[in-house]
Amino acid sequence: MTRTRIAAVCGALLALTLSACGSSSSDGPTGSTSDDVIKQAKASTEQAFAGTDRALPTDGPKAQAGKTVWALACSTQAAGCVVPAQGFVDASKALGWKVKLVDGKADPAVYNSQLRAAAAANVDAVALFGVDCSVVKASIEVVRAAGVKVYGGNALDCDDKFSNGGKPLFDEHLRFNQDLISYEDYMSTFVGPTIADWAIAKTDGKAEVILMRQDDNATLRMVGDAQAGRLAECDGCVVHKVTFTSDDLFGGKLQGKAAAALQQFPTADVVMVPADSAITLGVGAAVDQARQGGRKDLLLAGNEGVASSITLIRNGTQSYAVGRPLTWTGWAAADGLNRLFAGEKPVDSGMGIGSMDAKHLPHGDVYDGNRASSGYQENYKKIWGVD
């Protein structure tokens, strides 16, 4: 039987808001989790801990030097945006480009004004990191009309499922896996379900999850949908969905919201977020407080594997993260843009994921690919013909 309790609290959201209210709701359990689901979850978890990177690219065009490019990051406070943007900056310098890193300040008004500034500056291209097409559509049209190319790094094009079936506007975007899938497919097919699989495997299909959802961001909404979809296959699991907004995240309100959820659901044993920034900006502190109050076995799972995440895993605050190679994402985006400048087709970057917990930490202070992929920067330079 499904139990649903909804307590909606409306608030002022950023202009990129996709829903009108914040809410919490609970679903499950509907029975016991099948052995097949638990077996699949454990196999998925083992594979993710081992890492899923593939072979690096072996050839491509030489550096198309002399270009001027901007990297627009959603916010320099959000590692998932600024780390790949900085990787793109470093790769751009290696390619011989003039490059500027732009802070979007988590504000769509800033995204739009900076894109139009790029058009006015007559740059050759703008690469987007955490800035989705749907919130800057009109500005992208202005930029492209000015002859500026738009490249999607970790960003959704205007044809994503939350953009009402719009037409794609990016000149090109970073491709993921050997099938050259989009960022949307990567987050929905690999990242979100892998986090849920870990919780299912860790609890033998009996997880009671507080699923923290940031639905005013299309990418993170996709992660939340994917997490929820996989957990729905766990018949012995209970899922309490709690929404938060960008204003909660960057306005210092998230810890209080997470603490309230933990009080509301006193038997929950897993807290799951769509991105690790939520942990560093409040959820981690709320979980630690709950543990100090007696819930010592409370688990906290996230997504990104940035330096702060690894520190939190080492000190016991965070239990698990899907590691995404964010610096490599920036370098792969620069390689993709270089191929676009040269008129060549995109290729598989080789990037996968690599999950981590206290027993499976990455080989460095930040996750940036499996150990066998650690030479990706020199590999790109060799392809580009630069030192």
Helix, strand, or coil (residue 292): helix
Same fold, 9-52+185-323 and 68-182+326-351: yes
Structural element, H or E, at residue 325: none
List 37's β-bridge partners, or say none: none
CB-count burial class (<10 Å; 0-12, 13-18, 19+) for 79: buried
Tell me which fold the domain 9-52+185-323 belongs to.
Answer: Rossmann fold (3.40.50)
CA–CA dist 379, 377 (Å, integer) = 5
CA–CA dist 216, 193 (Å, integer) = 20
Peptide bond into 29 cis (omega under 30): yes
Q: Please give the C-alpha separations between residue 101 and each of 69, 107, 119, 156, in angstroms, as whole numbers.
A: 9, 16, 15, 19
- In the prediction, which pLDDT does 182 show? 86
**Backbone φ/ψ region at 385: left (φ over 0), alpha (ψ -120 to 50), beta:** left
Structural element, H or E, at residue 88: helix 79-94
CA–CA dist 85, 153 (Å, integer) = 8
- In the prediction, which pLDDT does 258 show? 98
Structural element, H or E, at residue 272: strand 270-272
- The residue extents of the domains of the chain are 9-52+185-323, 68-182+326-351
pTM of the full predicted structure? 0.87
Candidates 341, 323, 294, 295; CA nearest to 96 is: 341
Residue with tokens 């981690």: 284
Per-residue pLDDT of the chain (387 residues; tens, 9 = 90+): 333 322 222 232 233 333 333 456 677 666 789 999 999 999 999 999 999 999 999 999 999 999 999 999 999 988 889 999 999 999 999 999 999 999 999 899 999 999 999 999 999 999 999 999 999 999 999 999 999 999 999 999 999 888 766 899 999 999 987 787 889 899 999 999 999 999 999 999 999 999 999 998 888 999 999 999 999 999 999 999 999 998 999 899 999 999 999 999 999 999 999 999 999 999 999 999 999 999 999 999 999 988 999 999 999 999 999 999 999 999 999 999 999 999 999 999 999 999 999 999 998 888 999 988 989 999 999 999 998
C-beta atoms surrounding 178 within 10 Å: 11
CA–CA dist 380, 376 (Å, integer) = 6
CB-count burial class (<10 Å; 0-12, 13-18, 19+) for 295: middle
- In the prediction, which pLDDT does 28 show? 61
CATH fourth-level superfamily of 68-182+326-351:
Response regulator (3.40.50.2300)
Tokens encoding 40? 């699949």
Helix, strand, or coil (residue 287): helix
Helix, strand, or coil (residue 94): helix
List 83's β-bridge partners, or say none: none
- In the prediction, which pLDDT does 169 show? 96
From start to end of 135-196, where are the E strands?
Answer: 149-152, 172-173
Tokens encoding 248? 């909660």
CA–CA dist 383, 59 (Å, integer) = 6
Chain-centroid distance, C-alpha 229: 17
- In the prediction, which pLDDT does 263 show? 98
